[in-house]
Amino acid sequence: MHNPRWKAGGRAFAHIAQFHPELTALRRDLHAHPELGFEELYTGRRVKEALQLCGVDEIHEGIGRTGLVAVVRGRSQSSGSMVGLRADMDALPIAEHNDFSWKSCKQGLMHGCGHDGHTAMLVGAARYLAETRNFDGTAVLIFQPGEEGFAGARVMMEDGLFDRFPVQSVFAMHNWPAMKPGTVGINTGPMMAAADRITIEITGRGGHGAHAYQTVDVVLVAAHIITAAQSIVSRNVRPIESAVVSLCAIQAGDLGAFSVLPGTATLVGTVRTFDPAVQEMVEQRLKELCSAIALGFGATATLHYERMYPATINTESEAVFAADVAESLVGADHVVRDLEPSMGAEDFSFMLQTKPGAYLRLGQGTGASGSALHNSRYDFNDEILPLGSALHASLIEQAMPLPMP
Ligand SMILES: [Zn+2]
Ligand SMILES: [Zn+2]
């Protein structure tokens, strides 16, 4: 099944390529049975079964509710080292528009971000590591629930993940449709942005649209806040820094009531930043603009600013190490070492706040469907399963090499 358009080398890849069909079958089975965050019961069962067949040393269930951790010990333990690998397991509330046989069997749920593939890749690494054990230390394989907005990484950590498995470093990867299969992208700093949710509640005085002078018009206030909010990035953020302010939803009045001015309006949106100082400043400016604009019209506006995921920031030496490992598999011309960060977000960021580590992007192409992540026609590209598994496994082997005989 290995596609000849790209090549990967190394012992791990050759070994794992032999069970590519089994990994594909597992991936498609997970795809057919998508589950939302903290509901990954079928997924957890399938992962556990697969890990038992792989012969891993320990399987720990129920860490962070539906999370699992597998432990594989290397043939030597003299280093005393422990390294973590993480895969996310959850799906999205999207109605799938694919027609293949492994299409979601659940109405309104699909694996639209490829976490089915990430899970299968880590199972593939577990099997290879358990079969070969060519490393000196302990591999900790983290199957994490609830990446899509549930902060499952943080929940696993709050449940003692790193107290029970005190890894020295931790690595994760995400498939990336904009990059070709057989390529890997990484950088030594921010990979993904911090994601914050903003809710702006505006209160005025409703009334008859014909007698607007008797009202405090919240629709007008909302319009001014929306326009002014877009001045923050262009006028307050230094041009060489990055930030996005998006107001994505507005709720006011009733579409059937053409002459009724509502008394309240709500705006919902997101702020994306890399630097905590920029994040702080955007929050402050939003708060000031909301209250000052509302005051100017005789209304009130309250900003609820919720910090959801911090920025995903690789530590330098682990990122360089991971890039070297990727290079050993696919060659220097297939590794982008200065990958541009994305304004998307990722809860692996919580793990990187406490542990050195790196987050990589694994090219998968847009496939037959030509679709991006979170699209109803997206599908994980099974072609890259052995490469993802081999990359995980090689991070372990090269972080904890066997002592010279
Ligand atoms: Zn996603
Ligand atoms: Zn994802």
For residue 25, being part of any structural domain is answered with yes
- Which of the 8 DSSP states describes residue 377? T
Q: Are both 153 and 235 inside the same structural domain?
A: no
Ligand 2 geometric centre to CA of 404 (Å): 39
Ligand 1 geometric centre to CA of 218 (Å): 34
The CATH number of residue 96's host domain is 3.40.630.10
Ligand nearest to the CA of 364: 2
For residue 5, being part of any structural domain is answered with no
Ligand nearest to the CA of 87: 2
Ligand 1 geometric centre to CA of 312 (Å): 14
Q: Are both 65 and 45 inside the same structural domain?
A: yes
Ligand 1 geometric centre to CA of 100 (Å): 21
- 8's CB contacts (< 8 A; 6+ apart) are 182, 329, 330, 386, 387, 390
* CB 357 within 8 Å of CB 169: yes
Which of 290, 309, 328 delimits the end of a domain?
309
For residue 359, being part of any structural domain is answered with yes
For residue 105, being part of any structural domain is answered with yes
Q: Are both 27 and 145 inside the same structural domain?
A: yes
For residue 90, being part of any structural domain is answered with yes
Ligand nearest to the CA of 149: 1
pLDDT value, residue 1: 46
Integer angstrom CA distances of residue 188 from 54, 294, 313: 33, 43, 8
Sign, CA dihedral 309-311-317-319, equals: positive
Ligand 1 geometric centre to CA of 189 (Å): 21
* Helices 115-132, 41-54: inter-axial angle, 10-degree rounding: 20
Q: Are both 294 and 324 inside the same structural domain?
A: no
Ligand nearest to the CA of 175: 2
- 226's CB contacts (< 8 A; 6+ apart) are 247, 250, 267
- Count the Cβ atoms, other than its own, within 10 Å of residue 172: 27
Q: Are both 159 and 244 inside the same structural domain?
A: no
pLDDT value, residue 369: 63
Q: Are both 298 and 320 inside the same structural domain?
A: no
pLDDT value, residue 371: 86
The total number of structural domains that make up the chain: 2
Q: Are both 162 and 288 inside the same structural domain?
A: no
Q: Are both 212 and 181 inside the same structural domain?
A: no
pLDDT value, residue 9: 86
Ligand 1 geometric centre to CA of 176 (Å): 11
pLDDT value, residue 136: 98
Ligand nearest to the CA of 359: 2
For residue 104, being part of any structural domain is answered with yes
For residue 296, being part of any structural domain is answered with yes
Ligand 1 geometric centre to CA of 355 (Å): 22
- 379's CB contacts (< 8 A; 6+ apart) are 31, 98, 100, 367, 368, 369, 371
The CATH number of residue 283's host domain is 3.30.70.360
Ligand 2 geometric centre to CA of 148 (Å): 7
Q: Are both 298 and 316 inside the same structural domain?
A: no
Q: What angle do CA 79, 81, 85 make, to 5 degrees?
A: 145
Q: Are both 30 and 89 inside the same structural domain?
A: yes
Question: How far apart are the C-alpha atoms of 399 and 405, rounded to whole Å?
Answer: 18
Domain that holds residue 232: 194-309
For residue 366, being part of any structural domain is answered with yes
List per-residue pLDDT tens for the chain, 405 residues long.
445 577 888 899 999 999 999 999 999 999 999 999 999 999 999 999 999 999 999 999 999 999 999 999 999 999 999 999 999 999 999 999 999 999 999 999 999 999 999 999 999 999 999 999 999 999 999 999 999 999 999 999 999 999 999 999 999 999 999 999 999 999 999 999 999 999 999 999 999 999 999 999 999 999 999 999 999 999 999 999 999 999 999 999 999 999 999 999 999 999 999 999 999 999 999 999 999 999 999 999 999 999 999 999 999 999 999 999 999 999 999 999 999 999 999 999 999 999 999 999 999 998 666 689 999 999 999 999 999 999 999 999 999 999 987
Ligand 1 geometric centre to CA of 119 (Å): 14
Which of 309, 324, 346 delimits the end of a domain?
309
Please name which of 105, 95, 178 lies closest in space to residue 366, comparing C-alpha atoms: 178
Q: Are both 163 and 15 inside the same structural domain?
A: yes
pLDDT value, residue 405: 74
Ligand 2 geometric centre to CA of 176 (Å): 9
Q: Are both 220 and 283 inside the same structural domain?
A: yes
Ligand 2 geometric centre to CA of 239 (Å): 29
Ligand 2 geometric centre to CA of 125 (Å): 19
Question: How far apart are the C-alpha atoms of 196 and 268, rounded to whole Å?
Answer: 11
Which of 288, 309, 330 delimits the end of a domain?
309
* CB 107 within 8 Å of CB 35: no
SS3 264: strand
- Could you give phi then psi for residue 133, rounded to 5 degrees? 55, 35
Ligand 1 geometric centre to CA of 158 (Å): 22
pLDDT value, residue 367: 67
* CB 135 within 8 Å of CB 12: no
Ligand 1 geometric centre to CA of 391 (Å): 21
Ligand nearest to the CA of 115: 2
Neighbours of ion ligand 2 (CB under 5 A): 113
Ligand nearest to the CA of 110: 1
Ligand 1 geometric centre to CA of 361 (Å): 13
Ligand 1 geometric centre to CA of 92 (Å): 8
